[in-house]
Every structure is written in C-alpha cells, then in structure tokens.
Structure 1
C-alpha cells in the first residue's frame, strides 16, 4: 500500500491547504474594500481592509488593534479596539469584558486573587 500524494486525497493537510487557499481568496480586499463588510463573501469577519490586502477585525485583532498595523505589546490583548492587560485589568480580568465585582482587584488573570 502506497501513500496517496493526490490533492484530492482526504487528508487533514489537504483540507487545510484548500481552506487556506479559499480563505485567502475570499479575504483579499485589494480590488474591493467593501468585500470586508459583505458576510457572504467574507464570513470570517473583519470589517477593515488593511494595507489593501486583507480584512481585519480591528476590535479584536491584536496585530491591528484599533487600526491597521497598530499591534498590541507583548502580553496585551485587543479588547474593543484597545490593548489591555488581561492579567491585571479589573475590567478585563482573564479575558475581554470579564469584570471583577465590587472592589475586587485583578491579579494573574483572576479576580481577588489570594483573598
């Protein structure tokens, strides 16, 4: 029994290759920046056409947070277009919009850590 090298072989690798080819084709917005807001052509999201190439979600994408090319620093996460430290921010503790109640502080991504 030999291994199949055909592109049609039902392997995970071929599936991902096909998915990536399709995704790149759909997400390219070089010729039409409005393609980003068309959910039929762009079901993956991202309303902003960055660098005339790809649709990006500038509200959640840490590489394009709040605008194209505005990358969050190391350890920061993009929450609603702002870079936040989910390890220590009581309004975004552990993940975006996970707010600590009352006067609880956020440490190590947990509300009221240690007491």
Structure 2
C-alpha cells in the first residue's frame, strides 16, 4: 500500500505545497481539508489512523507524548515530526524519499523525526 500523508494543523503549508508540486500523485491531505484546525492531538491521531495516513507535524513538544498515549489502545499509521529548523526544501525531499522508498506498512505504529 502506498503512503498517504495527513498534514497537522501546525505544519507549514509550504511543505505540503512543495511535495505536491514535485509529485502530484502523492495523497497528502491538508489540515484544512481534514478540518483539523483546533482539534486536539488524540483526535488528530485517531482521524489519521482511521484514514490510514501518516501524520506529518511540527509539534515535537506534545505530539510524541500524545502518540505514546494513543498507542496504548490503538494502532497508528505513523507520525513524522518535522523540525521547524529544517529548511523547507529538505523537508520536502525527505517526505518524497519516504514516499518513494518505503511502504505504508513500514510506518505502522512508528514515530520518526526529520531529518532522518
């Protein structure tokens, strides 16, 4: 199964736009399209898991803990935390590489930080 991404509400939209410009066939849902503005982390994680999407977020402060708590009774499609210090171009390249070189099954119940 191909990787599908879900942008968290805090993710820089330029990353989503850049990924889709480079590879229009990637399924990368914006936070706006998913209605995530103001939604709490546990609900965001549940929505992404239900839709089998890897959540892409800048939230390295609370998301890892929320992910760990979510995992106690649920399965996740994965979470990728993108450092705000990472140049947008590098974040785009790494997300494209993950999409091209791995499968969705490899990300189940996994959390990773970019840069890898």
| TM-score category of the 2 structures, normalised to the smaller one | under 0.3
**More helix by percentage:** 2
TM-score by length of 2: 0.26
Larger RCO, structure (CA 8 Å, separation 6 or more): 2
TM-score by length of 1: 0.26
Structure showing greater radius of gyration is 1
